[in-house]
Chain A
Amino acid sequence: MILEVVHPGGARTWHPLGERPLTVGRGFSNDLMLDDPYVEARHARIGLDENGGPVIEDLGSVNGLVGKDTRLPGRVPLHPGTEVRVGRTLLRFHDVEEAVPPALVDATASSATTAAKESQKRLARWRRARAVRRVVRFGRTTPARLLTAAAAASAIALYSWLGSAQRSSGSEALFAALGFAMIVSVWAGIWAVASRVTVHRFHFVGHVGVAALVTLAGLLWSVAIEWAVFFFPDAGLSDVLSIGIGLVLLAALVAGHLSLASGLSRQRQWRAGFAVAGTALLIGGLATLVEEESFSDVPTFSGIVKPVAGEWLPTETVDEFGGVMAKLKEQVDEMAKP
Chain B
Amino acid sequence: MSFARSLLLVAILPWSHLVAQQRSVTTSDVFSRYADRVVKIQVVETGSAAKATIGSGFFVTGSGHLVTNYHVISKLIHDPDRYRAELIDVAGAVKPVAVLGVDVVHDLAVLGTEVRPPAHFSLARVTVAQGNRLYSLGHPEDLGLSIVEGTYNGHLAHTRHPRIHFTGSLNPGMSGGPTIAEDGRVIGINVATAGNQLSFLVPVERAASLLEQVLGPGDDPPARTLEAIGQQLRDHQDAYLRDMFVGETKMVDLGPYRLITEPAPFFRCWADATRRQELPYETVRHHCSTDDQLFIAGDQSTGVVDVEHEMISTKKLNSSQFFSLYTSVFANDNTPGGEEEHVTSWRCGTRNVRNAALPMRAVLCLRRYRKLGELYDGVLKVAVLGRGDSGLVSTLTMSGVTFGNVDRLARRYLERISWR
Q: Which residue of chain A has the shortest Cβ distance to B323 in the bound complex? A: A307
Residues of the B chain whose Cβ atoms lie less than 8 Å from the Cβ of A295: 340, 344-345
Q: Is the CB of B350 within 8 A of A302?
A: yes
Residues of the B chain whose Cβ atoms lie less than 8 Å from the Cβ of A279: none
Other-chain contact of A317, B320, B335, B353, B410 (Cβ < 8 Å): B353
Task: State A100–B103 Cα separation when bound (angstroms).
Answer: 90
Task: State A20–B30 Cα separation when bound (angstroms).
Answer: 113
Residue interface bits A295-330, CB-to-B below 8 A is 1, else 0: 111111111111111100111111111101111110
Other-chain contact of A296, B278, B346, B364, B407 (Cβ < 8 Å): B346
Residues of the A chain whose Cβ atoms lie less than 8 Å from the Cβ of B180: none
User: Is A234 at the interface (CB under 8 A from chain B)?
Assistant: yes
Residues facing A in B340-368 (CB within 8 A) are: 340, 343-355, 358-359, 361-368
Task: State A307–B367 Cα separation when bound (angstroms).
Answer: 31
Q: Which residue of chain B has the shortest Cβ distance to A318 in the bound complex? A: B414
The number of chain B residues with a CB under 8 A from chain A is 67
Pick from A101-109, A160-168, A204-212 the stretch touching chain B. Answer: A160-168
User: Is B379 at the interface (CB under 8 A from chain A)?
Assistant: yes
User: Is A233 at the interface (CB under 8 A from chain B)?
Assistant: yes
Other-chain contact of B326, A305, A324, A329, A332 (Cβ < 8 Å): A305
Task: State A304–B321 Cα separation when bound (angstroms).
Answer: 13
User: Is A169 at the interface (CB under 8 A from chain B)?
Assistant: yes
Q: Is the CB of B321 within 8 A of A164?
A: yes
User: Is B337 at the interface (CB under 8 A from chain A)?
Assistant: yes
Select the residue from A234, A297, A300, A302 with max chain B CB neighbours within 10 A.
Answer: A297
Q: Is the CB of A307 within 8 A of B388?
A: yes
Q: Is the CB of B321 within 8 A of A318?
A: no
Q: Is the CB of B352 within 8 A of A233?
A: yes
Other-chain contact of A327, B281, B349, B385 (Cβ < 8 Å): B349
Residues of the B chain whose Cβ atoms lie less than 8 Å from the Cβ of A167: 278-280, 316
Residues of the B chain whose Cβ atoms lie less than 8 Å from the Cβ of A308: 385
User: Is A51 at the interface (CB under 8 A from chain B)?
Assistant: no
The number of chain A residues with a CB under 8 A from chain B is 49
Other-chain contact of A298, B319, B322, B335, B344 (Cβ < 8 Å): B335
Q: Is the CB of B351 within 8 A of A297?
A: no
Task: State A310–B360 Cα separation when bound (angstroms).
Answer: 9
Task: Using known A-B contacts A318-B414, A328-B366, determine if residue A305 contacts B346 with beta carbons closer than 8 Å.
Answer: no
Task: State A306–B295 Cα separation when bound (angstroms).
Answer: 41
Task: State A198–B106 Cα separation when bound (angstroms).
Answer: 78
Residues of the A chain whose Cβ atoms lie less than 8 Å from the Cβ of B340: 295
User: Is B376 at the interface (CB under 8 A from chain A)?
Assistant: yes
Residue interface bits B251-272, CB-to-A below 8 A is 1, else 0: 0000000000000000000000
Task: State A309–B362 Cα separation when bound (angstroms).
Answer: 17
Q: Is the CB of A233 within 8 A of B348?
A: no
Residues facing A in B361-420 (CB within 8 A) are: 361-370, 376, 379, 381, 383, 385-386, 388, 391, 403, 406-407, 410-411, 414-415
Other-chain contact of B331, A233, A303, A306 (Cβ < 8 Å): A303
Select the residue from A299, A309, A310 with max chain B CB neighbours within 10 A.
Answer: A299
Nearest-CB distance from A312 to chain B (Å)? 10
Nearest-CB distance from A230 to chain B (Å)? 8
User: Is A333 at the interface (CB under 8 A from chain B)?
Assistant: yes
User: Is A289 at the interface (CB under 8 A from chain B)?
Assistant: no
Task: State A316–B336 Cα separation when bound (angstroms).
Answer: 28
Task: Using known A-B contacts A305-B330, A305-B391, determine if residue A335 contacts B361 with beta carbons closer than 8 Å.
Answer: no
Task: Using known A-B contacts A299-B346, A305-B391, A318-B414, determine if residue A233 contacts B361 with beta carbons closer than 8 Å.
Answer: yes
User: Is A113 at the interface (CB under 8 A from chain B)?
Assistant: no
Nearest-CB distance from B410 to chain A (Å)? 6
User: Is B123 at the interface (CB under 8 A from chain A)?
Assistant: no
Nearest-CB distance from B275 to chain A (Å)? 14
Task: State A56–B132 Cα separation when bound (angstroms).
Answer: 107
Residues of the B chain whose Cβ atoms lie less than 8 Å from the Cβ of A331: 347, 366
Q: Is the CB of A325 within 8 A of B364?
A: yes
Nearest-CB distance from A220 to chain B (Å)? 16
Residues of the A chain whose Cβ atoms lie less than 8 Å from the Cβ of B403: 325, 329
Residues of the B chain whose Cβ atoms lie less than 8 Å from the Cβ of A329: 366, 376, 403
Task: State A299–B347 Cα separation when bound (angstroms).
Answer: 7
Residues of the B chain whose Cβ atoms lie less than 8 Å from the Cβ of A302: 350, 363
Given A299-B365, A314-B352, A318-B411, 16 additional A-B pairs, CB 8 A = A162-B318, A164-B321, A166-B280, A167-B316, A295-B340, A297-B335, A297-B343, A297-B345, A300-B346, A305-B327, A307-B322, A318-B415, A321-B410, A322-B411, A325-B349, A329-B376
- Can you report 22 residue pairs joining A to B where beta carbons are below 8 Å apart? A165-B280, A165-B314, A165-B322, A296-B345, A298-B346, A299-B333, A301-B331, A303-B383, A305-B385, A305-B391, A307-B323, A310-B354, A313-B354, A316-B354, A321-B411, A321-B414, A324-B364, A325-B349, A329-B403, A332-B366, A332-B368, A338-B370
